[in-house]
Structure 1
Amino acid sequence: MRFIDTIEGLDDIFETDIPKGSVVLITGPPGSLKSGFVFSILSNYLNNCEEHGIYVTLEQNKKSHLENMGSMGLELSDNLTISDFTDYRLQYDEFSGDLLSLIETNIIQYKHKLGDNFTCLALDSLGALYSLMDVEPRLLRKRLYHLLEPLRRENLTTFIILEMADPNGPNHDFEGYLADGIIELGVHTKDNSTNRYLKVRKMRATAHNMDPYILTVSNDGLHIYKGTIF
């Protein structure tokens, strides 16, 4: 099973699969299907192999998250564990300095439990993590680097969601530098028609199209197809 076979039309963008062990940044504004896109990739991938993964959520609690995914026709794979850190937000004033360490511990424990069968994870979202950590940005990003590098060494394919209201506004050079791939999701209006789109800005070690593709959602999941966006 390839990651690019998990959503209809995604394999039209890539010539080869997203390399295992990559850190992939998923960016976009609210409503651009970032969580649905990542959840769909992981659940569909894990449904078709003997591997396991974690979806770390800081934005929505597990129940709300699964209800949202279900409304898009997306079902949770038995091999995907939802690691819910939303309750932690109620206590962050007292314990915020420990949040990244708790996430690291959670991942390490899962790795010790499943070994090489643990192959992929998602962090939803980096913005929520930043907002909950009482650490200056320079030190926080340094800690993020020290989290991501061991994930690469363990060959864990990692999808990190980062909300960006304007893809042409202030960029996130540090996160982009750390990432092996950047997939931009967006919403664009042209001639009174509004479409969601997907654009692969970079993906190391694989050939891919850089044109925008239309991204749609129906009651049977997500679909990607070529169309005129801009």
Structure 2
Amino acid sequence: MRFVDTIDGLNEVFETDIPKNSVVLVTGAAGTLKSGFTFQMLSNYLEQQDEYGLYITLEQSKENHLQNMDSMGIDLSSKLHITDFSDYRILYDDFSDDLLDILEENIIQFKKNVGNKCSCVAIDSLGALYSLLNVEPHDMRKRLYKMLENLRREKLTTFLILEEEKLSGMSDPSTGMEGYLADGIIELGMHLKGNVANRYLRVRKMRAASHSMEPWILTVSENGLKVYKGNF
């Protein structure tokens, strides 16, 4: 199975798969299904592969995260391990400068424990990570680049979730430093037309992949998320 075969209709957006060992930024405003999209992609992919993955949640507890996924009809694969860092925020907030290193060490240690069958990781979210770090922006970019490059060398496909503070429109081309560090950007947003609001998905970039640049409707069905062509 390909990553793009994990969500109904996503293989219409992509002609080729998301390249292995790449870093993909999943970005959007609150309520645009970023966690659900990423979790379903990894869980469904791993369920059909002889591989394993790691999902790191820095905001929600594991229990709350799984309840949220269940409410959207998204199943958990036994091959996707969930690490809950929410307790770290409570216990070690005064000693958080080393969190980026701790995060990287946890990911690499998990891969060592699992072996070469460990293929993908998700970090949910970068905003929660930034809130725990007292680092200047230019230093953050260097440190984040170093971590992501190390994950690439570990042959991990990495998904980074980033919540935007503002509700950007489909005509907004802006991106932060994360967009320059990532190989791909999948934008999830909300499109308002009169009194009707539709969630949408748009692939802003994906190196070494062929894909549509247009927005597609993203919705929740009985069996998880679904992507289909709509009129905007």
* TM-score, structure 1 as length reference: 0.96
Determine the structure 1 residue equivalent to 2:182.
179
Determine the structure 2 residue equivalent to 1:108.
108
Q: Does the 8 Å CA contact 1:181/1:203 hold for their aligned counterparts? A: yes
- 1:170 is displaced (CA, Å) by 9.3
Determine the structure 1 residue equivalent to 2:192.
189
The aligned runs of 1:67-106 (5 Å cut-off) are 67-106=67-106
DSSP-derived class of the 2:162 partner: strand
User: Matches of 1:197 and 1:179 in 2, distance apart?
Assistant: 21
Code of the residue aligned with 2:203 in structure 1: it is: V
Q: Does the 8 Å CA contact 1:121/1:159 hold for their aligned counterparts? A: yes
- 1:211 is displaced (CA, Å) by 0.5
Instruction: Give deviations 1:50-103, integer Å, cap 9, x for gaps.
Output: 100000101101000000000000111100000110011113432211211111
User: Matches of 1:100 and 1:89 in 2, distance apart?
Assistant: 13
Instruction: Give deviations 1:4-30, integer Å, cap 9, x for gaps.
Output: 000000000111000000100001000
Inter-CA distance 36–128: structure 2 relative to 1 (3 Å threshold): same
Code of the residue aligned with 1:222 in structure 2: it is: L
Once the two structures are overlaid, the 10-residue window that deviates more, 56-65 or 167-176, is 167-176
Structure 1: where are the runs of 5+ without partners? none
Match of 1:223 among 219, 222, 226: 226
- 1:111 is displaced (CA, Å) by 1.4
Once the two structures are overlaid, the 10-residue window that deviates more, 89-98 or 50-59, is 89-98
- 1:140 is displaced (CA, Å) by 1.7
How many residue pairs get aligned? The number is 229
Determine the structure 2 residue equivalent to 1:166.
167
Determine the structure 2 residue equivalent to 1:9.
9
* TM-score, structure 2 as length reference: 0.95
Instruction: Give deviations 1:202-223, integer Å, cap 9, x for gaps.
Output: 0000111000000000231000
DSSP-derived class of the 2:115 partner: helix
Once the two structures are overlaid, the 10-residue window that deviates more, 23-32 or 103-112, is 103-112
DSSP-derived class of the 1:160 partner: strand
User: Matches of 1:220 and 1:75 in 2, distance apart?
Assistant: 9
User: Matches of 1:200 and 1:50 in 2, distance apart?
Assistant: 27
RMSD: 1.3
Q: Does the 8 Å CA contact 2:167/2:190 hold for their aligned counterparts? A: no
Match of 1:209 among 208, 212, 229: 212
Q: Does the 8 Å CA contact 1:71/1:219 hold for their aligned counterparts? A: no
Structure 2: where are the runs of 5+ without partners? none
DSSP-derived class of the 1:147 partner: helix
- 1:171 is displaced (CA, Å) by 3.9
DSSP-derived class of the 2:139 partner: helix
- 1:166 is displaced (CA, Å) by 3.0
Q: Does the 8 Å CA contact 1:4/1:18 hold for their aligned counterparts? A: yes
- 1:108 is displaced (CA, Å) by 1.1
Determine the structure 1 residue equivalent to 2:128.
128
Inter-CA distance 156–90: structure 2 relative to 1 (3 Å threshold): same
DSSP-derived class of the 1:113 partner: helix
